[in-house]
Copies of this chain bind each other. A is one copy, B any other.
Amino acid sequence: MSRQLEINPLNKDAFAPFGDVIEIENAERLMINDGTAERYNDLADIDVASDGGRPIISIFRGRRRRFDPSEPIEINMMERHPLGSQAFVPLQDAPYLVVVARIADHIGPDDLYAFLAQGKQGVNYRRNLWHHPLLVLNDGHEFLVIDRGGPNDNCVEQYFTPKQGYAQLFL
């Protein structure tokens, strides 16, 4: 049993229930450094202090999930980080996929929302938001990730049951 997920373009309004879109577009421009740089300030709500947490910076490099681009990508699980937000900002200008769900104890394929993010758009998942792990379209696509380091378990995974089935993304 599978459900085909509609893929919507990513923008701040559509993504507001889930977190922040980190992009210059529609952000306020501040001139700094004596006019030699533009600053687009404070673009995401970094929420990593729970339970003695601290912000950490990492680089993720995504591997492709299918070898034939005509095949759908299958979504059969989601995860959430109860102790901190998690931001992904692409380091190469290439599109990628974002799959999220509203906060709930248990979710299934019918609860998912999919977005196509452009290479100049990062996303910041709110603390505890259900999301799918990194879904790159270009093998080796790299992201700067700002999330939480610290004590206690900060990852909950949920695999869909056979009865729930899975979701498919066609591009």
User: Could you tell me which A residues sit within 8 Å of B by CB distance?
Assistant: 22-24, 27, 32-44, 46, 48-49, 54-63, 65, 87, 89-93, 120, 122, 124, 133-134, 142, 144-146, 149
Name 25 interchain pairs, CB-CB below 8 A, sorted by A.
A22-B144, A23-B59, A24-B61, A33-B134, A34-B133, A35-B63, A36-B65, A36-B133, A37-B61, A39-B59, A39-B145, A40-B58, A41-B56, A41-B58, A42-B56, A43-B57, A43-B59, A44-B56, A46-B54, A46-B56, A48-B55, A49-B54, A91-B91, A122-B144, A144-B144
What are the nearest 3 A-B pairs in CB distance? A33-B133, A55-B55, A40-B59
